[in-house]
């Protein structure tokens, strides 16, 4: 196995759903994935604190930058892992569409 990207809902979920992203990262690592692109981990590494409520205006300012970063990760992945509830997230639906466009494998959390 090689690289996989984790996609799922974040906004309007307690602590931006980071727990689900980190749990998925742990499961995928145990399954043998070599590199895991976890946007929650990348956000934390960039200084984002999921314990602080961020006003909507901050999202508008960074939305394009973050989406471009995440799409680049998908372009560099062999697969994408869709967390539960991804269908309810505009961003995750867009990431899913990119994966479909690229023809990479798509896995769904059961």
37-75 confidence digits (pLDDT tens) = 999 999 999 988 999 887 765 666 677 888 999 999 999
Return the structure tokens found at 96: 């899913």
**pLDDT confidence of residue 63:** 78
DSSP 8-class letter at 2 = -
92-108 per-position pLDDT tens digit: 999 999 999 999 999 99
Which CATH number do you get for residue 67? 3.40.50.10400
**pLDDT confidence of residue 98:** 98
On the 0-12 / 13-18 / 19+ scale of CB atoms within 10 A, 2 is exposed
* Count of domains for the chain: 1
Domain that holds residue 69: 3-108
**pLDDT confidence of residue 16:** 93
Stated pTM of the model: 0.93
Of 17, 15, 2, the residue nearest 83 (C-alpha) = 17
């Amino acid at each position: 196995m090689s690289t996989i990207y984790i996609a799922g809902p974040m906004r309007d979920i307690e602590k931006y759903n980071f727990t689900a992203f980190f749990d998925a990262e742990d499961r995928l690592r145990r399954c043998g994935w070599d590199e895991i692109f976890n946007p929650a981990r990348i956000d934390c590494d960039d200084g984002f604190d999921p314990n602080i409520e961020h006003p909507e205006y901050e999202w508008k300012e960074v939305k394009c930058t973050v989406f471009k970063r995440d799409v680049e990760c998908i372009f560099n992945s062999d697969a994408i892992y869709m967390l539960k509830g991804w269908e309810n997230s505009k961003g995750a639906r867009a990431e899913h569409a990119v994966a479909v466009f690229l023809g990479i494998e798509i896995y769904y959390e059961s």
